[in-house]
Structure 1
Amino acid sequence: MLYNYRKEVVVMKTTGERIRYIRSNILDKTGNEFGKLLNVTKVAVSNWENNNRMPDADMLVKIADLGDVSVDWLLCRTDNPSSKILKTNYKGDEFEVEIDKNYPHDLTPEDVESLLEQLRKTGFDVDTLIKNTRIK
């Protein structure tokens, strides 16, 4: 969650809003200055911020790196700027696991799948947990 100076939650529902937040709040740059950091014009920055165009994948990574946020946050897949989403498959079911990028272990989807399997082997019933979660 992000907060403004009054400690109110800042809700940003589009990639453009999040790019603008990085540019103006985190980096304190004008559109022109931000564009120079990325080797694009201020018009390109404006198009992104107004959701008229979407930066390509490489540019999304550069923007996320400049703002020290995850690409998943930039793409509105999570509301935590430090989170990344890992997808894994366990017994034919696809799972998305949100991991804080500041967590000291760099987990891969295979690591998450291995963790689920280890939990099952130690008596933690992953299948029952999944079934109970689906009932809710």
Structure 2
Amino acid sequence: MVKEFSKRLKYLREKKKDKEPKWTQGYVADLIGVARPTYTAYENENNPKQPPLETVDKLADLFDVSADWLMGRTNDPSPKKSEKEMSLFFYDGLEGYDDLSPEEKEAFREHMYDEARQAIELVKKLKKQGKRGGMYER
């Protein structure tokens, strides 16, 4: 996923740069609040580290694409603002969530995203097998 992220990020920036030369790596780094070498590493396909989720969200907003597309999780680049709003709504009022640090909240959201994807795959598998999915059944 990191290589796909790097390719897509570089593609988006260079596409902007074709129209406006100011879209350098340094310019984007300033816009999202990271050091230029940090941003340069994001575009480097050999960089094994994934950026923090908060940074991915900033980049997705900046380039008007979905974070999932930017990370290579989908081929649909359209931003899905309603999903972000829904996820914020889901966690609002969840006991203990507000007590977490920003880093802990990010880790929690990533874990819940993975759990939700696994649940979706399970439901699809059960449906494909023709088995009743209990509470997943409609």
TM-score using structure 1 length: 0.52
Match of 1:74 in 2: 70
Match of 2:9 in 1: 19
Match of 2:100 in 1: none
CA distance in 2, matches of 1:49, 1:37: 15
Of all paired residues, the percent bearing the same amino acid is 31
Report how many residues are paired: 89
Deviation of 1:21 after TM superposition, in Å, equals 1.7
Deviation of 1:130 after TM superposition, in Å, equals 2.4
Q: CA contact under 8 A between 2:57 and 2:67: conserved in structure 1?
A: yes
What residue ranges of structure 1 are gaps of 5+ in the alignment? 1-12, 97-112, 114-126
Matched, 1:35 2:25: no
TM-score using structure 2 length: 0.51
Deviation of 1:37 after TM superposition, in Å, equals 0.5
Matched, 1:95 2:120: yes
Tell which has more relative contact order, 1 or 2 (C-alpha 8 A, sep 6+). 2
Q: How does 1:56-135 map to 2 (within 5 A)?
A: 56-82=52-78, 94-95=119-120, 130-131=128-129
SS at match of 2:119: strand
SS at match of 2:120: strand
Change (3 A) 1:88 1:69: same
**Code of the aligned partner of 2:40:** S
Of stretches 17-26 and 70-79 in structure 1, the one that deviates more from structure 2 is: 17-26
CA distance in 2, matches of 1:34, 1:83: 19
What residue ranges of structure 2 are gaps of 5+ in the alignment? 84-112, 131-138
CA distance in 1, matches of 2:62, 2:9: 10
CA distance in 2, matches of 1:72, 1:83: 9
Q: Which structure 1 residue ranges, 4+ long, deviate > 4 Å from structure 2? A: 83-89
More strand by share: 1
Q: CA contact under 8 A between 2:64 and 2:79: conserved in structure 1?
A: no
RMSD after superposition: 3.3
More helix by share: 2
CA distance in 1, matches of 2:43, 2:5: 7
**Code of the aligned partner of 1:70:** S
Deviation of 1:22 after TM superposition, in Å, equals 2.1
Match of 1:55 among 51, 63, 69: 51
